[in-house]
């Protein structure tokens, strides 16, 4: 449990919503798992990223808007509707869908990590969680795996198509907008421009 979310994010108490979001975005980029693949510091970076996400959720009240200010949080209206009531949300992953629907990303992540099952639903929900956290490439990979495991699921197909299309648009225009073509800015660009799962803006 994070004791001082302001300290974790490196901002002063009473920092503005914009300052908190900027600090969060910078730290997510710094500790992103893609930067540490095959690196002995991967575990430390993962733990730091977990702390950063937890601190941001504490300050945003878990809804994507900092310190109670109004902002765009996750609605669940796109990408298959309300997760808690989805037909495929029954059973063991129902609580994960409810956590995603209420934008409780820490709980959703914990439930997914501790689940021994790695079926299509697990990969789908992991993909949605990754997209919400701004890790678009990881999200696309997990959504793609969900589709491979359950190719006839229309919800998986719809979400995969929406996320990958938005990702392709970003990649095509990345240089024009000043983002790295390796996708480092993809999460923020998509989060802020095209995807209603935004938890960082």
Residue 58: Cβ within 10 Å count: 17
Can you give the C-alpha Rg of the chain in angstroms?
Answer: 16
Question: Cα(156)–Cα(60) distance, rounded to whole angstroms?
Answer: 29
Q: Give the residue range(s) of CATH 1.25.40.10 domains in the chain.
A: 93-173
H-type helices in 61-193, by residue range? 94-101, 105-114, 120-133, 136-149, 154-173, 186-193
Question: What is the CATH class of 5-61?
Answer: mainly alpha
For residue 57 the two structure tokens come to 């959720």
Q: Architecture of 93-173 per CATH? A: Alpha Horseshoe (1.25)
Q: Give the residue range(s) of CATH 1.10.287.110 domains in the chain.
A: 5-61
User: Residues of the chain with pLDDT > 70: what percent?
Assistant: 65
pTM: 0.49
- Which three-class secondary structure state does DSSP give residue 17? helix
Per-residue pLDDT reduced to its tens digit, 146-198: 999 999 999 999 999 888 876 555 454 444 444 444 444 444 444 433 344 44
Q: How much is the mean pLDDT over the chain?
A: 72
Measured distance between the N- and C-terminal CA atoms of the chain, rounded to whole angstroms: 23
């Amino acid at each position: 449990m994070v004791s001082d979310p302001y300290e974790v994010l490196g901002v002063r108490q009473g920092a503005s919503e914009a300052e908190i979001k900027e600090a969060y975005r910078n730290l997510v980029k710094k500790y992103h798992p893609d930067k540490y693949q095959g690196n002995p510091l991967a575990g430390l970076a993962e733990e730091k990223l977990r702390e950063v996400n937890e601190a941001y959720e504490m300050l945003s009240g878990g809804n994507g808007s900092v310190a109670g200010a109004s902002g765009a949080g996750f609605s669940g209206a796109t990408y298959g509707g309300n997760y808690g009531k989805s037909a495929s949300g029954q059973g063991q992953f129902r609580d994960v869908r409810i956590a995603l629907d209420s934008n409780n990303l820490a709980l959703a992540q914990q439930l997914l990590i501790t689940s021994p099952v790695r079926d299509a639903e697990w990969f789908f929900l992991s993909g949605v969680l990754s997209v919400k956290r701004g890790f678009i490439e990881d999200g696309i990979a997990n959504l793609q795996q969900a589709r491979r495991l359950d190719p006839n699921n229309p919800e998986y197909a719809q979400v995969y198509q929406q996320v990958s299309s938005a990702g392709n648009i970003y990649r095509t225009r990345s240089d024009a907008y000043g983002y790295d073509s390796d996708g480092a800015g993809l999460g923020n660009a998509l989060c802020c421009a095209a995807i209603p799962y935004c938890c960082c803006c």
